[in-house]
Amino acid sequence: MSLLITTTIYWIFYAYRLFKFCYNWIIFKCYHNSYRLLSINYTYNSFCEKTLSLNTKNFTTYQNYLQFIQFNTHYLKRIYTLDDIKNFNSCNDKNTLLSNPNIMSVSLIHDDNDYEIDIKNFIVTDNILLDKPFLQWYMFKYYAIKGVDDYFIIIIDNDVKMHNLNPNNYIYLLKDKFIIKTI
């Protein structure tokens, strides 16, 4: 009887491992290095995120991000026109899109509270970050805070230099650095 139980447990264990391997393989094949268009609309004091087809031409009322997966990390690149999608599709090596802006930390101070902004999924070349629409969406999505209008941002780079941003500033990511711009 114990041999029967041992053999059954053995087969269940290896069947589970086989199932887990097949599941992970299917997930990897379906989602590895894929991309989709994520559209964010701010209406009626709430945010609506939806996936659009990549051939959509409505870029007027939405804040659009092209979400792509590279080495099991989701990246979001803001897009403005259909040409941005065409340029993305024409790029053969998606690794060239990734930026190394040398940013150690980003903190947002709002109503005497300090919030950490994690930009690791947004470090894509030619991306615009930390502007008002981005922060309103980010704060609502990750902290459930609406109406972030009066804030102050502190960026610490890898050289331990502090950069201060107000609501009129944003950063533009290049391949190996970032530039602080004013609206």
If asked whether residues 109 and 177 sit together in one domain, one would say: yes
Quote the CA–CA distance of 132 and 150 in Å, as a whole number.
10
Query: Does position 139 have pLDDT exceeding 70, yes or no?
Result: yes
The confidence band for 71, taking pLDDT boundaries of 50, 70 and 90, is low
If asked whether residues 60 and 129 sit together in one domain, one would say: no
Domain boundary among 50, 75, 96: 96
The confidence band for 66, taking pLDDT boundaries of 50, 70 and 90, is confident
pTM higher than the cut 0.85: no
If asked whether residues 162 and 143 sit together in one domain, one would say: yes
Would you list the DSSP string of the chain? Answer: -HHHHHHHHHHHHHHHHHHHHHHHHHHHHHHTT-EEEEEEEEETTEEEEEEE-TT----SSSEEEEEEEETTEEEEEEE-SHHHHHHHHH-S-GGGGB----EEEEEEEETTEEEE---GGG-BTT-EESSHHHHHHHHHHHH------S-EEEEEETT--EEEE-TTEEEEE-SS-EEEEE-
If asked whether residues 149 and 117 sit together in one domain, one would say: yes
Quote the CA–CA distance of 88 and 82 in Å, as a whole number.
10
Beta-bridged to residue 79, according to DSSP, are 64
Domain that holds residue 73: 35-96
């391949």: which residue's tokens? Answer: 175
If asked whether residues 119 and 174 sit together in one domain, one would say: yes
All residues at 6 or more sequence positions from 93 whose CB lies less than 8 Å from its CB, including other chains = none
Q: What is the pLDDT of residue 8?
A: 87
If asked whether residues 9 and 76 sit together in one domain, one would say: no
If asked whether residues 140 and 165 sit together in one domain, one would say: yes
Cα 171 off chain centre by: 16
Beta-bridged to residue 76, according to DSSP, are 67
Question: Per-residue pLDDT tens for 90-110?
Answer: 776 767 788 888 899 999 999
Domain boundary among 96, 121, 138: 96
- Looking at residues 122-142, what average pLDDT do you find? 88
Domain boundary among 96, 116, 146: 96
If asked whether residues 6 and 47 sit together in one domain, one would say: no
If asked whether residues 88 and 76 sit together in one domain, one would say: yes
The confidence band for 38, taking pLDDT boundaries of 50, 70 and 90, is low
If asked whether residues 81 and 112 sit together in one domain, one would say: no
If asked whether residues 19 and 48 sit together in one domain, one would say: no
Query: Does position 46 have pLDDT exceeding 60, yes or no?
Result: no
Report the candidate in 133, 120, 123, 44 with the shortest Cα–Cα distance to residue 80. 133
- Looking at residues 40-69, what average pLDDT do you find? 54
Structurally, the chain folds into a number of domains equal to 3
If asked whether residues 171 and 125 sit together in one domain, one would say: yes
